[in-house]
Amino acid sequence: MILILFLVTLAIGLLAQWHVKSAYARHSRTPVQSGYTGAEAAHAILRQAGITNVEIIEHEELLGDHYDPKRKRLVLSAANYHGTSAAALGVAAHECGHALQHKQAYAPLEMRMAAVGITSIASQMVMWIPLLGMATKLIAPKVGLLILAVGWGILMAFNLITLPVEFDASRRAKLVLGKMGFIQGGSESAAVNQVLNAAAWTYVAAFISSLIYFLWYLLPLLTSGRRRD
């Protein structure tokens, strides 16, 4: 049964990743009439918001774009840094959305930042506890279930907090790109929406997967039942 559960959650994650990569690939070929690159748009968005202490840097990993609140860095892949497509501007503006959240102390972002440490510990727990339990037999079944339920509960909560952070950043991106004239209505706006909406579903998929695992390990504790895997 655990193998089926693993395959189901794996399929959910892979489907979400395929969806975002497909949307990105399609709209990385959709040029914007404004001619701005992702980096130029990001600089302008941050400047208009009065954010002068965030560095915009380029890296080579595709779709590894992110905002680092600790280092105050907005990291864009080369394709999005130099690109003038709807996909490039959408991704760049989305990361600017996180910088705007940080400046405004957006509550869900603050909560996610505070939870990074314990979430890292939880991810190690859910990876190593099953292996240690099988290899050493030193962990009682109910203790192992409890530890795994707690670990997956933390991961689920982190993924839940992430949802408003990501959806809000995309909302900000769509608004500012249109307001500042980086994209036009119609096909350009639709392309940005498709890329950002597809990306958002990867976070929904992560939440669903962690919720499934959380319930899988929690329910036997609540029912005092045993499950045959």
Q: Which of 40, 58, 60, 95 is catalytic?
A: 95
Please report the beta strands in 19-174, taking only residues with DSSP state E, as ranges in sequence order.
55-59, 66-68, 73-77
224 secondary structure, DSSP code: T
DSSP 142-182: HHHHHHHHHHHHHHHHHHHHHHHHHHHHHHHHHHHHHHTTS
110 is catalytic: no
Cα diameter, the chain = 64
Give CA angle at 173 (171, 178), nearest 5°.
105
Cβ atoms 92, 32 nearer than 8 A: no
Cite the active site residues.
95
